[in-house]
Amino acid sequence: VILTAIVIGFSIQALMLVGVMKLSRDNPTLECSEIERNNT
């Protein structure tokens, strides 16, 4: 059970990292409010 949770946790972290890296190209400071204003 613990192992499953760890595996899932890490894979989600990895996914988020990829997403954040893509976003950081246009928003280098990664401020939530900035990104939100640009994208909604």
CA distances from 23 to 2, 11, 20, 40 (A): 32, 19, 5, 14
Nearest residue (CB) to other proteins, 1 versus 29? 1
- Please, which of residues 1-40 interact with other proteins by CB under 8 A? 1, 4-5, 8, 11-12, 15-16, 19-20, 22-23, 26, 32-33, 35-36, 38-40
Residue of 18, 27, 28 whose CA lies nearest to 37: 27
In whole angstroms, give the CA distance from residue 32 to residue 23.
Answer: 11
Footprint of other proteins (CB under 8 A): 1, 4-5, 8, 11-12, 15-16, 19-20, 22-23, 26, 32-33, 35-36, 38-40
